[in-house]
Structure 1
Amino acid sequence: MHNAEWQEDNEADHDSAIHEARLWRDDGWTARVIRNEDGEGWAVEMIKDGEAEPALVGPWTMGRDKKNPKPLDTPAFHTLVKTAAEVLRRHEQQLHAMLHKSVAVNAATGTITVALDIVPDEDDPYALLSAQDEDGAQLAEVRVLPSFKLTRSSAEKWMESGFRKPAD
């Protein structure tokens, strides 16, 4: 099979591995060496299979001729996968921290954990305010605006109200 036919077959089958100087697809990731937007030098973008946007775009090393990019290889690809996966993991942690908050409040019956879980629905975003006892039993849950500010003070006020829905 000619190289062009092999490349066409592999591009048609997204799951097939490709190991070329400027395109490397394997293990659920694609590394593509591209020219920098300013036309100076080279960059590499890492795209996770199924995603539209790159998880990582970074500078890429020039080759020995100082004009063309250094070819991709196995060690470089594995390093890029590790780095891109870490970027995604940090992004997911940051998003989780933005959407899920909790505070512990001491009560006569023990420690109550009050949580705010924001649901970023495009049409109707909202948040769920909930309370759990030390054993994890749910004491209350109400729907609130996604802009509700969960603090120790707001959690205590909600508990003191008998878990009535806070005013918007």
Structure 2
Amino acid sequence: MHHSDDSCAAEEVSAIHQPRLWQDKGWTARVIKNEDGDGWAVEMIQDGSAEPALVGPWTMGRNKVDPKPLDAAAFQTLVKTASEVIRRHEQQLHARLNKQCQIETEAGSVSVRLAVTPDEYEPFGTLTAVDSFGEVIASVKVPADFRLTRESAGRWADSGFGKIGRHG
């Protein structure tokens, strides 16, 4: 299969396969000198990210001086591990930003959900009440630090799911 030189030049340029620097599939693996002590470490950085998602120990090569060269299999494993770390981190973040509780009202069981929208300047929360049929009864904007508890959800329900003031 032949093609003109410029068709996928961008991809060819972005992939780097060197013993200590491997860049591919949206990730960069870099083998670095271990800061605390001897030996080597490897850092995995996702494209567009300033911080490494993963920094781990890296094996010595046969000569016991230089690091083991990176290869496709090692890179694949590193990508899997780093992706896993990012996913766990996102799940923890999601859990921190999303809370839910069940309350009983005259109209039946209601699920109250709080979703916090992180924002550098004005983070806010959205409180949503959903009935047992999955229908949204009400949705209001609340302060980002609103604490969702059975009590606060109950008070909101008692108020007829009205706007929530600063006092909560």
Match of 1:38 among 7, 20, 36: 36
Q: Deviation string for 1:31-76 (max 9, x for gaps)?
A: 1101112352110001111212111011101112111101111211
Report the CA distance between 1:78 and its aligned residue. Answer: 0.8
Q: Deviation string for 1:81-121 (max 9, x for gaps)?
A: 10000000001101110111111112232321101111221
Report the CA distance between 1:164 and its aligned residue. Answer: 2.4
Query: What does 1:127-166 align with in structure 2 at a 5 Å threshold?
Result: 127-166=125-164
3-state DSSP of counterpart to 2:14: coil
User: Counterpart of 1:112?
Assistant: 110
Which amino acid letter does the alignment assign opposite residue 54 of structure 1? Answer: P
Report the CA distance between 1:132 and its aligned residue. Answer: 1.2
Match of 1:49 among 47, 50, 63: 47
3-state DSSP of counterpart to 1:77: helix
User: Counterpart of 1:90?
Assistant: 88
User: Counterpart of 2:3?
Assistant: none
The separation in 1 between residues aligned to 2:48 and 2:142, in whole angstroms, is 34
The separation in 1 between residues aligned to 2:44 and 2:24, in whole angstroms, is 11
Please report the TM-score for the alignment, with normalisation by the length of structure 2. 0.86
Report the CA distance between 1:22 and its aligned residue. Answer: 0.4
The separation in 1 between residues aligned to 2:12 and 2:122, in whole angstroms, is 36
User: Which moves more between the two structures, 65-74 or 31-40?
Assistant: 31-40
Which amino acid letter does the alignment assign opposite residue 159 of structure 1? Answer: A
User: Counterpart of 1:5?
Assistant: none
Instruction: State the identity %.
Output: 59
Report the CA distance between 1:15 and its aligned residue. Answer: 6.0
The separation in 2 between residues aligned to 1:108 and 1:160, in whole angstroms, is 10
3-state DSSP of counterpart to 1:143: strand
The separation in 2 between residues aligned to 1:19 and 1:13, in whole angstroms, is 13
Match of 2:58 among 60, 72, 90: 60
Which amino acid letter does the alignment assign opposite residue 90 of structure 2? Answer: E
Match of 1:101 among 88, 94, 99: 99
3-state DSSP of counterpart to 1:45: strand
Gapped regions of structure 2 (runs ≥ 5): 1-8
**1:73 aligned to 2:71?**
yes
Report the CA distance between 1:13 and its aligned residue. Answer: 6.2
